[in-house]
Structure 1
């Protein structure tokens, strides 16, 4: 009986592996010279999509970033994508957008100003410089735009709001809103003192919105449409930051994380609504683009339906960067191979190297293949922090298809490269 069951399992594995061999898109080492050829089949998969989510199984892997960069280039050139969004603050990303649109500022300083070591890399720098150079050749209505959709920091948004209100009426600002210059909308842990501050912050924001509603004519005469849009977006960012931090103050870190994902979806929706005929590529961790409730991708799928396509990333082993929670240093870690029974281990044993598989198509395949992509399976999922020699705590048990519409697999990885 055991031999019979083992034989069935072997046959099913062979069927799945054969399907992947026949239906996957093999990916060579990507270069400026070959990325169009590598991604030429993606047009049929993605041309009708309005929001394309690009994930990552770690925040510090060179190949994940490189694939996303070249896929963005392909989608811009071949599928009319004009907008890019990243898991970083809306306000800070405007500085990057000013660089790619108008050549303003120092791009390395702009990227480091996004607050996250994860994006302060040569891979992201290469992508942003390419966006800048691409825009120099394009008419204004064809240029790329760079957005942030996260909400974790309020300081720059507050400063931007204060500058605009002072331009409108400096005396009124100092009489009624100068608290914006110093009040702290954030907390990092359970903090009962935050409750009173929360009430003050809410009252201040309500007063600010009431004031602005009476100044619409003055706003239109003083600022252009982009500056007015930014003002309202900055206020909304602070409101979102406040609500998430209220949950943190109550000790509800998991609920705060879920609310952050919901707000990020709302911010992406606002970007799409402001550019109704454009498509957007969004860059975030697998855990955010995932279609599983209550992740950001779940809300995006609810909002955009089949026009949202989530692409996850998986790997077998290799090197990556993350924060060591013991030393609090950013270091390079190494995982030799994924554990037996994991998706990374299974894909590696097919022996076809790096590839992409369309899970929407695979989910509708016959028999064992459909069951494989629908069943729960272990996958490596590593965020900004990693405990050395304890990689088994970083496996997520979930169906690949429930999370993603498509998946890149990379057998062996190398670490992302810091700008400085």
Structure 2
């Protein structure tokens, strides 16, 4: 194992060497509201795109919102010229996950970088998540209304099935448990039609296929969500892994992807107690599908600092203090032994006990209560199996949100807010 002090983008050289020819690099975060994770992640991603030819960034965000950003950063016809304006149109709570100054800085750099390249060689920005049922349905309506009016009926049938439940789509999930309220057949018909359209060339047809996949998987997600337990989590992460696979296929056999998501999604679930609860995640699925040599998983963590989060689901954001990590945790051990910012690159030759044994590893969601630190907010982890490398920040600062209009979201995710 190698430990390197971090002071700037050039200090990521050992990690780029470890990444080598890997096709997928997943960069995590221990919270959705920490400036330092986003800043270091975007610095590393710039190098992966500019120096190692990575094709796109895929994030834990909704497809339609991120598609608007994608059209901006790749300068597609009709796209918003300013990526900042595209990010400010994010509406789903918590908007600060992607509508923030750090992501805006990266997207403005990405547009500038792309403008010097042919359209076929521009790096994209895409969303992996499953929540945008209504937004994806509207995008399909808009596309079919202009391109394929004859196919619009299939989309309208799916819409009419969900329409009685309004924007509170979780009510559909509740109803489907007790009465014949399932919209599955209508959604499958819509998906089949959109897959046919995706056989045609062009970014619009692919985007609409993905929107139809979101609608189909969201229907399953909301049915699973109301039943509790890990099934909705598994539906969601499987959808994210499937979306990543489709993007890799779409960009071509030589394509490479950077994924931005929470540690609980990108760190291999089999190295945590998530596996005991029957949960899988995108990091595990990528390793299983592409092979360990083609996937590099990078975790992030801190000892103390500040974070943006909310006290309950849907509440306004707050800047909260992250207290010192509890004794015996991974973070406490790193606080005592590592520089203020450090990069750890793991290898098979050197495996100290703290790398192979199980230690508590902090995970902060969009909903956070610092007073729970002694009882919750930690995931038992075998660090050397969960990740291939780790980025350490001893003390962190809060993310810088952009102004955005927040719309009500869904019921709280399982587990809470990650």
> Normalising TM by the smaller chain, what interval?
0.7 to 0.9
Select which of 226, 232, 238 maps to 2:215: 238
Select which of 109, 112, 121 maps to 1:133: 112
Once residues 229 and 172 of structure 2 are traced to their aligned partners in structure 1, the CA distance between those partners, rounded to angstroms, is 9
Once residues 384 and 180 of structure 2 are traced to their aligned partners in structure 1, the CA distance between those partners, rounded to angstroms, is 40
Once residues 56 and 374 of structure 1 are traced to their aligned partners in structure 2, the CA distance between those partners, rounded to angstroms, is 21
Q: Quick check: 1:108 aligned with 2:84? A: yes
Select between 108-117 and 391-400 the one with higher mean Cα deviation.
108-117
Change (3 A) 1:326 1:44: closer
Aligned to 1:121: 100
Change (3 A) 1:92 1:326: closer
Q: Which has the larger radius of gyration?
A: 1
Once residues 177 and 27 of structure 1 are traced to their aligned partners in structure 2, the CA distance between those partners, rounded to angstroms, is 51
Select which of 255, 266, 286 maps to 1:289: 266
Select which of 375, 391, 394 maps to 2:357: 375
Aligned to 1:407: 390
Select between 318-327 and 345-354 the one with higher mean Cα deviation.
318-327
Question: 1:361-407, CA deviations, whole angstroms, 9 ceiling, x for partnerless residues?
Answer: 1x531xxx432201100111111110142223111111111211110
> Does the CA contact (< 8 Å) of 1:43 and 1:78 recur in 2?
no
> Does the CA contact (< 8 Å) of 1:292 and 1:402 recur in 2?
no
Q: CA deviation at 1:300?
A: 0.7
> Does the CA contact (< 8 Å) of 2:87 and 2:104 recur in 1?
yes
Aligned to 1:63: 36
Q: Quick check: 1:387 aligned with 2:369? A: yes
Q: How many residues align?
A: 381
**Residue aligned with 2:128, SS:** strand
Once residues 194 and 239 of structure 2 are traced to their aligned partners in structure 1, the CA distance between those partners, rounded to angstroms, is 23
Once residues 207 and 115 of structure 2 are traced to their aligned partners in structure 1, the CA distance between those partners, rounded to angstroms, is 24
Aligned to 1:270: 246
Once residues 327 and 266 of structure 1 are traced to their aligned partners in structure 2, the CA distance between those partners, rounded to angstroms, is 28
**Residue aligned with 1:88, SS:** coil
Alignment TM-score, normalising by the size of structure 1: 0.84
Change (3 A) 1:372 1:210: closer
**Residue aligned with 2:60, SS:** strand
Q: Quick check: 1:330 aligned with 2:303? A: no
> Does the CA contact (< 8 Å) of 1:159 and 1:181 recur in 2?
no
**Residue aligned with 1:150, SS:** coil
Alignment TM-score, normalising by the size of structure 2: 0.84
Pick the structure with more helix per residue. 1
Once residues 412 and 192 of structure 1 are traced to their aligned partners in structure 2, the CA distance between those partners, rounded to angstroms, is 43
Q: Quick check: 1:344 aligned with 2:367? A: no
> Does the CA contact (< 8 Å) of 2:63 and 2:132 recur in 1?
no
